[in-house]
Structure 1
């Protein structure tokens, strides 16, 4: 009889252990699925850099930290102001790609601060951004990496950096309300959707800068 009781206890214990293991596996899969959905490419990048366990812990800490921020959309007036500044940045690229790239980098930081992101070093700012903007945050990182080595960057690389910045710019203004047509992007050219026109050296037009001096594109 004692042997039967021991066997029964062992079986029950094994069932309990298996049940707990099943719950743990389901919980971990849900956790992983949530983090993948939230962070997108950043999940894979962080796992590759830190390993799965540490990466998921890091990403959960980001979520918790950002949940305490008072993030808000831009007002219509703020959106229009930043859109005008962004248009000036793109116009400046024709004569001074490096300065345009640096101004674009500073403008995005200003936009993030206005929306409620605390200003710290780039790495922390980038991590905070990945929580709610995971699909475009990598563009910000790639653009910033080019800006960091600007002395060696080619014009084409700086153009790519500004295009990367534009991905984040569009995201940061997207929930402020209806887009102010001509300010967010230049008019489309040649019937091609999404073509802002500023990246082509064959275009000849005049754009006002912040200093009020026209820049001839050519």
Structure 2
């Protein structure tokens, strides 16, 4: 075989490999095991919504990864962190006297924080939740619950249900507050809190004495 034919064959083979990688994409290439590990309880939730159809569930989750997997996490200055922490602390105190109001404000606060960290706007709730589920799958359920409790449909929720929604939303709030862009690595990191540069950051507002 001539040198020219060998070079042509190598180029064709390389092009085929590149095409295969581009076709599979980050979501499809991970396969069922990769998606299940990445999404955890979110995988089970989507699977149940698709009545146990694993192919449909994996297709949806794979599409989420393709849309949001390369999302750039915006840094959050320490002064901004302190401001958000103080707002959350005030909401927890307000919950005692006005739980419904506190829940509604907590939902808006998490949505605003997520947007500031680079996620879609809170007004695009479904798109924002999909993006958050790619990077914080183990904490997204609390945000859904507080969103429901703050909606017209959730106005019949008991005080205990609203309290549980606040507790769940706080987990995502903490992750968004503490996570630095390099900590997430493009996926949910359950070890973010108290590690690396976050070790010295407190969730208590300065001067609170708590």
Q: How high is the TM-score relative to the length of structure 2?
A: 0.69
How many residue pairs get aligned? The number is 160
5+ unaligned residues in a row in structure 2: which ranges?
1-27, 181-197
- Counterpart in 1 of 2:205? 183
**Larger of the two Rg values belongs to structure:** 1
Q: Where is the helix percentage greater, Structure 1 or Structure 2?
A: 2
RMSD over aligned Cα, in angstroms? 2.2
- Counterpart in 2 of 1:38? 38
Structure 2 distance, partners of 1:39, 1:114, is 23
SS at match of 1:93: helix
CA contact (8 A) 1:98 1:150 kept: no
- Counterpart in 2 of 1:49? 49
5+ unaligned residues in a row in structure 1: which ranges?
1-27, 189-218
1:147 to 150, 153, 176: 150
Structure 2 distance, partners of 1:30, 1:68, is 15
Higher alpha-carbon deviation: 97-106 or 150-159: 150-159
Change (3 A) 1:62 1:187: farther
Q: Counterparts of 1:68-83 in structure 2 under 5 Å?
A: 68-83=70-85
Q: Counterparts of 1:105-124 in structure 2 under 5 Å?
A: 105-119=107-121, 120-124=123-127
Structure 1 distance, partners of 2:64, 2:156, is 33
Change (3 A) 1:151 1:82: same
Change (3 A) 1:155 1:181: closer
Change (3 A) 1:164 1:181: closer
Question: 1:2-47: per-residue Cα shift (whole Å, max 9, x none)?
Answer: xxxxxxxxxxxxxxxxxxxxxxxxxx89511110111110111111
Provide runs of 4+ in structure 1 moved above 3 Å: none
SS at match of 1:134: coil
